[in-house]
Amino acid sequence: MNKISSLILGAGLALSTIGIAHADPSGTWKLSVGYNDDPCTLTLADAGNVSSAANCDLGLSSVGHWKATRSGLELYAANGDLVAMLKQNGNSYTGTRLTDGRHIALDR
């Protein structure tokens, strides 16, 4: 009976820590498109809106909304078109832009 109790307790603890691993992505991020560009500032608001700094002319100025997914983030244009799918990679998000397949990274 002790083994079963230990297994149940361990499973409960493991499941409860899964939610901790996915931190809230809202806030200010450094956005990079490609591998050798200068990053610009992108802000993900709690309500799902996106704002970018004036120096953010990397072809992602059309991003207007974001949505958290199980594996990361999705960035959407203001008209609702999916722009990029990013996967969580530690404390950052990486993926590709759908229009041309260029590498995209969000870092704090």
pLDDT at 28: 92
End-to-end C-alpha distance for the chain, whole angstroms: 47
Residue 44 placed within a domain: yes
Decide: residue 106, CB within 10 A, 0-12 exposed, 13-18 middle, 19+ buried. buried
Phi and psi for 13 in degrees, rounded to 5? -65, -40
Question: Around Cβ 100, how many Cβ atoms within 10 Å?
Answer: 8
- 24-76 confidence digits (pLDDT tens): 888 999 988 887 777 888 899 988 998 887 767 656 667 889 999 999 999 99
Could you tell me the residue range of the domain that residue 93 belongs to? 24-107
Residue 76 placed within a domain: yes
Question: At residue 6, does pLDDT exceed 50?
Answer: yes
CATH number of the domain where residue 53 is located: 2.40.128.10
3-state secondary structure of 25: coil
Cα–Cα distance for residue pair 55/75, rounded to 1 Å: 18
Residue 17 placed within a domain: no
Residue 16 placed within a domain: no
Number of domains the chain is built from = 1
